[in-house]
Amino acid sequence: MALVNPHGKEKKLKPLLLEGKELEEEKAKARTLTEVRITSREAGDLIMMGIGGFTPLEGFMGYEDWKRVCSECKMADGTFWPIPITVSTTEGQANSISIGEEIALVDEESGEIMATMKVTEKYKIDKEFECKNVFRTTDLEHPGVAMVMSQPEVNLAGPVKVLSEGSFPIDYKGIYMRPAETRKIFEDKGWSTVAALQLRNPMHRSHEYLAKIAIEICDGVLIHQLLGKLKPGDIPADVRVKAINVLVEHYFVKDTCIQAGYPLDMRYAGPREALLHALFRQNYGCSHLIVGRDHAGVGEYYGPFDAQKIFDEIPKDALETKPLKIDWTFYCYKCDGMASMRTCPHGKSDRVFLSGTKLRKMLSDGEPVPMQFSRPEVIKILQEYYQSLTEKVEIKLHQYAEGETK
């Protein structure tokens, strides 16, 4: 059996990253162009287009694509896409840019020219409309909503030529991978069914349990963690990489899982982000996406299994990558091990509910972490990180972290 096809009508990866002489010539031209500064979220989206992770996109979306993606989860040409991929600038700068003009997209943090773009459209959006559809809320306390509402006034659309992957290949050498690289690894191993485990937290016992369930039914697992920006209080990627490495080394059968990373910032869009996670994992060659409790959620904006339900609401042929839906998992004292709502007959008092939020709070507060939460080798790495912090970040527990449901 072969791997799943890349997303889109052509069913082939479309990386937009230039190489060799073409790259050098475009870089020289870029230095002569009007510069538009972009955020880390926009830079991450751009890199994903560059490496083929956002196949079949050819650039940032125009108004019709934006509107239909928000309301219908598909672009103007009918291609399934769950979250708008846009870049914005101030009205003043937008007025100074002509339709058809080429511009340089510059990372606002590093100052590096990331891409050139031929501007085909300039448009304003209804930000509340986007937030209501994508995040299901307009509450500014939601980090994704805050991100959209703080965008400049005008979106620019057009095809891009990507010139850089930023610092990811250097900062995360051996972890940061392009879709073509993971596909080759899977093919070399003879894998055709691969489940992706989405991570923005270090792996606790529930994550480990989910991965091992997937290993039982698939050829292997891609432990695929986000390398971009998170919200305050989340654990940075370099610490997560160390913690995952030690867990895989001591508690997984050799050659059953691969650890890799991708360059996006979190949007915390819950169900819609779960769909995006499945879409780009299809480009990475994964047949399944593990979807557990509160996937890509934040606070209590989504029900604990809304990210599973949304896969039943989209057309059956929208994605080749399918959800691997797993119920609420926990440690049960009476079962004497990890279990789920489907396998454990015991009561709540016998269960230890695990969550990244709860684990971070215990570590931040300097509390001892029970062995049921995470492996000792992992806890040691995380405790060292928290002890190194000079400023404590307050972490609030929500009801799902305590095993409550709506």
**pLDDT tens, the chain, 406 aa long:** 799 999 999 999 999 999 999 999 999 999 999 999 999 999 999 999 999 999 999 999 999 999 999 999 999 999 999 999 999 999 999 999 999 999 999 999 999 999 999 999 999 999 999 999 999 999 999 999 999 999 999 999 999 999 999 999 999 999 999 999 999 999 999 999 999 999 888 888 999 999 999 999 999 999 999 998 877 777 888 899 899 999 999 999 999 999 999 999 999 999 999 999 999 999 999 999 999 989 999 989 999 999 999 999 999 999 999 999 999 899 999 999 999 999 999 999 999 987 777 888 888 888 888 888 899 999 999 999 988 988 766 656 555 545 554 4
Question: Which stretch of DSSP H or E encloses residue 195?
Answer: strand 194-199
The first and second tokens of residue 76, run together, are: 């103007």
d(CA 276, CA 287): 14
H or E stretch covering 222: strand 220-226
What pLDDT score does 366 carry?
Answer: 87
Q: What type of residue is 312?
A: D
Domains of the chain with CATH codes: 20-166 (3.10.400.10), 171-262+268-402 (3.40.50.620)
Rg, C-alpha atoms of the chain: 21
The pTM score is 0.93
Contact 206, 332 (CB under 8 A): no
Catalytic residues: 200-201
